[in-house]
Structures are given as C-alpha cells and as structure tokens.
Amino acid sequence: MLKTTHTDAAPAAIGPYSQAVCMNDLVFTSGQIPLDPATMTIVGEEITAQTEQVMKNLAAVLEASGTSFDKVIKTTCFLADMADFVAFNEVYAKYFVSKPARSCVAVKTLPKNVLCEVEVIACK
C-alpha cells in the first residue's frame, strides 16, 4: 500500500508530486532543493549553505516518513557544477555517516537554478 508524506517542516512540492512516497518499509523521497520551507526562497548562494539546507529538508521529510539518515540505503545527488563536488561532499559526509550507495552527477540546470538537489531511498 502506498502512502504519501507531507510535512510543513520541508518545502511544499513545487509541482504535481509528493515530498515522499512510502511502500511497505521503503521510503522514496522526491528531490530536495535548498528552499526555506517557511518562505519558499532559496537559502544560500554557495554550495555549502545550499547543501546544508537540502540536508535539513531531507531530515524533515525522512522524519515525517518514519525514518532517518542512518536508514538511507541509496542517494542520488545532482550538482549544477562538478567543481562543487568536494565542498558538497564535506557537508554530505556529516549526514550520511553510514555511507549509503550513491550516484552523483552534474546536470545542466536544476529547479530555480539552485546548485544541488538530493533524493534518497530509505528503509523504516
């Protein structure tokens, strides 16, 4: 049975999707970008600040879905510029200490022209 997640502690969806979908013991989050959930404005102008906000948003969605960073099994990370890879990883490593499987790619453009976006698959 599918169940969608919604929390006001993370940005509202800016399109026709849910913050996360849970099926049995798996949680699939939508990509999180560095939006302040209260104002829906972009947080930070550089990769470190934007990555921190993305992680805060993911934490809120994971918590609302009944899980946490330590139960993440796969991440997909999107960067606007691979030159930000090292700085992105420094923030990422603070949150994903369990070292889940990961893909990290550079893309041409992200929503609202942000510098990073991250989605995860977790278990409960």
Query: What digits encode the pLDDT tens for the residues 67-86?
Result: 999 999 999 999 999 999 99
C-alpha 37/C-alpha 93 separation (Å) is: 23
Each domain of the chain, given as residue ranges in start order, spans 2-123
Q: Tell me: pLDDT of 60 over 90.
A: yes
Query: What digits encode the pLDDT tens for the residues 17-45?
Result: 999 999 999 999 999 999 999 999 999 99
The pLDDT score that the predictor gives to residue 104 is: 98
Q: Measure Cα distances from 2 to 25, 69, 74, 75, 109 in Å.
A: 10, 21, 19, 21, 31
What are 55's two structure tokens? 């992680």
Q: Tell me: pLDDT of 15 over 90.
A: no
Confidence of residue 122 (pLDDT cuts 50, 70, 90): very high
**CATH architecture of the domain covering 2-123:** 2-Layer Sandwich (3.30)
Question: How large is the average pLDDT for residues 96-100?
Answer: 97
Query: What digits encode the pLDDT tens for the residues 106-115?
Result: 999 999 999 9
Q: Tell me: pLDDT of 1 over 90.
A: no
Q: What is the mean pLDDT of the chain?
A: 97
**Residues with catalytic roles:** 104
Question: Percentage of residues in the chain with pLDDT exceeding 70?
Answer: 100
